[in-house]
Structure 1
Amino acid sequence: MTVEFLATKGGKEAGLLIFHHWPFNSIGIIHEIYVLHAFRGRGVGTKLLAFAERYVVDHKCRSLQLTARSLDSDFMSNSNLRKWYSSHGFMGADSGGPTMKKVLLTDPAAESFSLT
């Protein structure tokens, strides 16, 4: 199922999230996160990403995937965008390509797991 969400800030459109989720195979795929110029660097993208993570977990998905390609290379390069996603827990493919994935914890017991 493809889902679109619009982020607003102060009553104005600030960003867009488009993703698809398949609960039957536990995968969510982000097609696009886009933040309008006036709202960049203000946490809108981070909030959209966190929203996507909560949404897919609530809909029985265990991982979230995306292709990290900048839609505005004047603002952020593909390399910097991959670093941004990495800072939010996404792991890249071994080939260094744009595909990234994050495994999401859906079991509260898993969050308290410790090796000590």
Structure 2
Amino acid sequence: MLIIEKIEGFEVISDEILRDIAQRAHGGWSTEYIAKYNGAEVGLLSFDFYQNKMESKIHEIYVLSEFREKGIGRKLLMYAEEVAMELRCFSIALEPHPFDRTVSLDMLISWYARNGYTPLVSNPKMMVKNLVYAVR
């Protein structure tokens, strides 16, 4: 079973690779989340929220190589979109960049496109997905 938890401090991350990525991804606006599969740390999400614009950005999605091709990256992506919708963001953006040599930039761009992200006209390196949420 996959669970995704907000990280309160980097010292709680036992996997050295994920801890390093979380520390590098963390910025003034970001919140990091760890994905655990059957108790093992398997992935990371770094998420930014810009309240003044009601926009969000995925700073990083990373899945350890031995856990790829199991839908974990997709679940992290969907989780980020759910958080953005809960925050009433109009869109969610990202800049695809491979974190290691096992994934190419073209593969990432294609994967994000299949999940509804399109390049920004003003900045083709960035991809965006418009979000729709129910007004309560």
TM range (shorter): 0.7 to 0.9
1:81 aligns to 2:80 (yes or no): no
Number of residue pairs the alignment of both structures matches = 107
Q: Deviations over 1:58-98 (max 9, x none)?
A: 0121100000111123x211011000000000001348843
Residue in structure 2 matched with residue 62 of structure 1 by the alignment: 90
1:72 aligns to 2:103 (yes or no): no
Give the letter aligned to residue 17 of structure 1: L
Same amino acid, percent of matched pairs = 35
Alpha-carbon separation, structure 2, partners of 1:96 and 1:53: 21
Alpha-carbon separation, structure 2, partners of 1:24 and 1:95: 20
Q: Unaligned stretches of 5+ in structure 2?
A: 1-28
TM-score, normalised to structure 2, is 0.73
Alpha-carbon separation, structure 1, partners of 2:122 and 2:54: 24
More relative contact order, 1 or 2 (CA 8 Å, 6+ apart): 1
TM-score, normalised to structure 1, is 0.85
| Structure 1 residues 23 and 9: CA distance shift in structure 2, 3 A | same
Residue in structure 2 matched with residue 93 of structure 1 by the alignment: 120
Alignment of 1:1-116 (within 5 A): 1-73=29-101, 75-94=102-121, 97-107=124-134
Root-mean-square deviation over aligned CA pairs: 1.6
My pick for the range that moved more, 29-38 or 17-26, is 17-26
